[in-house]
């Protein structure tokens, strides 16, 4: 079997499991918006993986031109960003001077994404289409990874929310950098690497949803 196809099937199965679990737990009245956003991240991942599976079966390639499956990756990163941005960030950061270093240190994550993008994609012999697509993913990843790292290290002042979600933020951060790694392995045709990432992704996505569930229980009880 095509290893890239197998990787997508495995990753899709894991994301689907996480989405179903999250749907059962959080698609109900008065559920935490944070949990809904993370569950939807798993949902759009399923959409993207399914499209890529269909494309691999029918066309045989997912890198020759832009396709909707790529939006699954970008959409997943956007939902992970949306989960931490806004209300959740306001709960842990009152913009005081005492917390300034916790706003500056997380800039290391988007800085690393930027370095990886230029090193692996921009200054390479890849096509312009691939560079633009990878750049779009990198831009969203810079936003998402900043808040994941910030909420991983910032002190929990009043509400206990950030402390409860640290496991989720750590797993999400790993997932986000796996997205970059997968794009790289696909552009270089490292099929074994793509398969390994697919397996890891299939494990991480359900774990992220489970971590959210545990976190929500902690801060609501």
CATH number for 174: 1.20.1070
Query: Which residue bears the tokens 């796996």?
Result: 178
| Tokens at 132, concatenated | 């633009």
Q: pLDDT digit string (tens) for 69-124?
A: 678 888 899 999 998 887 788 878 777 888 889 999 999 999 999 999 999 888 88
Domain count along the chain? 1
Domain residue limits at 26: 3-220
d(CA 130, CA 127): 5
Q: pLDDT digit string (tens) for 138-161?
A: 999 999 999 999 999 988 766 677
Q: Which of 7, 3, 4, 54 is nearest to 200 (CA)?
A: 7
């Amino acid at each position: 079997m095509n290893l890239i196809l197998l990787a997508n099937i495995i990753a899709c199965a894991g994301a689907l499991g996480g989405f179903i679990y999250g749907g059962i737990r959080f698609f109900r009245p008065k559920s935490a918006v944070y949990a809904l956003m993370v569950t939807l991240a798993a949902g759009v991942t399923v959409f993207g993986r399914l499209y890529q599976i269909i494309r691999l079966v029918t066309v045989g390639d997912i890198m020759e031109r832009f396709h909707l499956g790529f939006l699954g990756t970008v959409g997943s990163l956007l939902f992970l960003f949306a989960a931490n941005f806004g209300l959740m960030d306001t709960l842990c950061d009152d913009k005081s001077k005492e917390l300034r270093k916790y706003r500056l240190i997380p800039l290391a994550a988007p800085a690393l994404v930027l370095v990886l993008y230029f090193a692996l994609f921009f200054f390479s012999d890849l096509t312009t289409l691939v560079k633009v697509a990878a750049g779009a993913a990198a831009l969203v990843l810079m936003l998402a990874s900043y808040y994941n790292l910030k909420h991983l290290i910032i002190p929990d002042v009043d509400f206990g929310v950030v402390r409860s979600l640290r496991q989720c933020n750590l797993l999400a951060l790993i997932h986000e950098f796996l997205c970059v790694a997968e794009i790289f392995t696909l552009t270089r045709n490292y099929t074994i690497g793509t398969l390994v990432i697919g397996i890891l992704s299939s494990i991480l996505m359900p774990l992220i949803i489970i971590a959210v569930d545990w976190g929500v229980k902690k801060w609501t009880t």
